[in-house]
Amino acid sequence: MESSEEEFYGRSSKTSRKFDISGPTGMVSRQSDDGTGSGEGFGGSRDLDGDAQLSDMPANGELSNATLSFDDIDAIGDAMDDKLDNRPAGRSQAEEAGRAMVTHLYEMGKSVASGIAGLARGDSEEFDKSSIDPVGYRWSWVEIDKKAVIHNVGIYRKLLGPRVKIMAVVKADGYGHGAVECARLAIEAGATWLAVATVKEGMELRDAHIDVPILLLSQPPVESIPALLAYDITTVVYTVDFAMALGEAAAKQDRVAKYHLSVNTGMNRIGVWCEDVEEFLNLISFHKGLKLSGVLTHFATADEHEDYFFNLQLKRFTEAVDTIRGMGIDPGIVHCANSAAGIRYKRAYFDMVRLGICMYGLHPSNVTHNMVDLWPAMSVKGRITAINEVPVGEGVGYGMSYRSPGGVKICTVPIGYADGLSRSLSNRMSVIYKGKLYPQVGNICMDQFMFEIDQRSTLMNVAPEPEIGDEVTIIGTDGPSSVTLDDMADALGTINYELACRFGMRLDKVYK
């Protein structure tokens, strides 16, 4: 084998073990370090005694410029040896070696193509996605405390008493916490209804084999009616055209579609105006394919100190429900209280309370903070991926908005504004590392941010030595330090709802 390799590879020390498989003729040329080829090769499409013909090689250079590994070349050499040992009489060693090499390259190409096709089909044998923990894909994640969700629903269960139902609102992927998992936790803790904002959200719950009643909180397009019926999703209704279309579709299937009537009591977003409820029901209640199974409204100011407008809305809603009953129509489940009203206004309970933001341990406003003991369910965490000792005066990140004072280490964490960490917080926030707060520095990037650890130690404050893989808390508590969604929302001039939804969009969720 040694003499054959030397004869084939060439005796020049400048010749590398690298080959170019070029084009439709299957030409194989030896490549030298200067990039020039030796010109040796085997072209044409001659019969190879039952092996592959060169005309069968992949056309148009599909294997062109492929680089062979040492193992590939050793395998070619073994094939050449076998051919030489068993070559027909009268055939030269060089000719037989060429035949062996081209045949082996052809078979190797077919094997590679087969593997690629398998990957394209998604053959599970190639890679099992479940074999890697979500955090293993990227060192950043949202951590959801399951006990907190159960605790928060339990708080409302005790507050409302046994008669009043709980509707757990899991729209927007459970306010970023994960709709399916949080729906299951809420049901475990006593919720008997679920609420969503889109048809697809309801379908996701049904696909996860969740079978409690689901209410769609806003009337969808007419085109979605087949999905509503197929997935047994109850919808809010507030236009005659949609109601008639829903009734007709249900009647064609010999079914009755249940719906909840949305009443506009002053928020002026959706719903039938409170004074027009009787006229609306007279237009649709005759339809055999429709059944009113609930009436609702939504409060605009239940979480504010001033309660004048809340009381006005509640009065209008109560009168609308009385009108429906006066028509001889059963209103079904009557509900209007959201999270804040569930804490503050017992007279708004009726038959059911819709539990939204408080289920996730977040308060709707400062008004309710001292009224119930909620446990925040969401933490946002990451791990350090890079550490740099940045000399004095050197900048960090896009735009160089931060300059190193010297004596600091700059740590990078793979969370950015595409993950919900607003770029507006650049140089204005802190993160928790080993129980202490450290300033975020430089402009927050799309997928990463940086923070500073001062390396100047004192007797009272010994600087930590950060390491790759160390955990950092962006939202949550570590030791005596804590950063909340409320803190971040206040800095941004927004609400905790928005930030929870943002963080839940791209980051993987880990439930504990």
Does residue 398 carry a catalytic annotation?
yes
DSSP 352-400: EEEE-GGGGT--SSGGGTTTS-----EEEEEE--EEEEPPTT-EESGGG
Q: What is the largest CA-CA distance in the chain?
A: 109
Burial (0-12, 13-18, 19+ Cβ within 10 Å), 152: buried
Under 8 Å CB-to-CB from 25, ≥6 apart: which residues?
A: 43, 44, 45, 54, 57
Q: How far apart are CA 154 and CA 178, in angstroms?
A: 19
Query: Which is the catalytic residue, given 83, 106, 156, 171?
Result: 171
Whether 360 and 177 have beta carbons less than 8 Å apart is answered as yes
Strands (E) located in 297-351: 333-337
Under 8 Å CB-to-CB from 486, ≥6 apart: which residues?
A: 362, 363, 496
* Cβ neighbour number for residue 389 with a 10 Å cutoff: 12
H or E stretch covering 326:
helix 308-326
Whether 367 and 501 have beta carbons less than 8 Å apart is answered as no
Q: How far apart are CA 473 and CA 380, in angstroms?
A: 6
Does residue 509 carry a catalytic annotation?
no
Whether 244 and 278 have beta carbons less than 8 Å apart is answered as no
> What is residue 50's DSSP assignment?
T
Q: How far apart are CA 177 and CA 20, in angstroms?
A: 53
Q: How far apart are CA 19 and CA 30, in angstroms?
A: 5
Whether 203 and 227 have beta carbons less than 8 Å apart is answered as yes
H or E stretch covering 159:
helix 146-160
* Cβ neighbour number for residue 402 with a 10 Å cutoff: 21
Query: Which is the catalytic residue, given 158, 315, 346, 398?
Result: 398
Active site residues: 171, 398
